[in-house]
Amino acid sequence: MCPKVTGQYKTEIKEKIIQAAIESFAQTGFDRTKMEDIAKRLDLSKGTIYLYFASKEDLFLAICEHYLKFLKEQQLSTIFTRKEDVVLYAEHFYENFRKLERGNDRVMLEMVVESTRNQKLRKGMYEHRLKVYDNVVEHLSKQIERGFIKKDIDVNGLASAFVALYDGLAASRMLGISEAQSKKAWVAMVRAVMAGIGG
């Protein structure tokens, strides 16, 4: 009677490999990361990775799915009762999401770039984006219902813009903009949108 490797174990290893790959890809980029590099991070051999992922691309796709699954689970909480909380919440939201992907801005960008070529990935990321977007739309709508936000705004346009703003800040950080400045920009925009800056 030999101890069988449970599915559990397999899943754990896969998860570890994915984590190591995320680190490698984040550091060196997909194309310049060698399978060997990823293996070394885990004190594994090249071959072992191939026991769990059929190819480098396959591994990358698994990372993408991993992220998508992870991100889709995130929900925009909407628990606040005063108009002033809207801005406060914006900060929390930003910080929250930042934590989820800390250090992996680059992998996210690579995924965006890669999605240009990979139909399946593109679909996945597009759907994720849609979901995030829907969340934002719903969130904005609720605030309208509550009377925290005016009725005659372009909810769809604004939702798109907020998602893009968040992504754009990731690019900014990659170029060296500080985390603080990045957050400051987010807050300033949310605040401005809520209050208006027109003189």
83 binds, among DNA, a copy of itself, none (CB under 5 to 8 A by kind): a copy of itself
Integer CA distances (angstroms), 166 to 14, 39, 162, in order:
30, 33, 6
Q: For residue 27, state whether it binds DNA (rule: CB under 7 A).
A: no
**Closer of 18 and 104 to a copy of itself (Cβ):** 104
Residues 175, 100, 182, 153, Cα dihedral to 10°: 120
Residue 123 binds DNA (CB under 7 A)? no
> Closest CB to a copy of itself among 15 and 91?
91
Near DNA by CB under 7 A: residue from 18, 26, 35, 121: 35
Is 136 among the residues that bind DNA (CB under 7 A)?
no
b/e map of 38-64 (b: 16 or more CB within 10 Å)? bbeeeebeeeebeebbeebeebbbbbb
Q: How far is the CB of 3 from DNA (least distance, A)?
A: 4
Among 57, 84, 95, 179, binds DNA (CB under 7 A): 57
Residue 180 in the binding site for DNA (CB under 7 A): no
Q: Give 186's Cβ-side CA count (13 Å radius).
A: 30
Residue 12 and residue 21: Cα distance in Å, rounded? 14
Please tell me whether residue 17 binds DNA under the rule CB under 7 A. no
Structure-token pair, residue 19? 């984590």
Look at residue 110 and give the partner it binds from a copy of itself, DNA, none, a contact being a CB closer than 5 to 8 Å depending on partner kind.
a copy of itself
Asked if 170 is part of the footprint of DNA (rule: CB under 7 A), the reply reads no
Distance CA 168, CA 171 (A): 5
Per CB under 7 A, 79 contacts DNA? no
Phi, psi (degrees; rounded to nearest 5) at 117: -100, -30
Which positions touch DNA (CB under 7 A)? 1-6, 9-10, 13, 32-36, 43-48, 50-51, 54-57
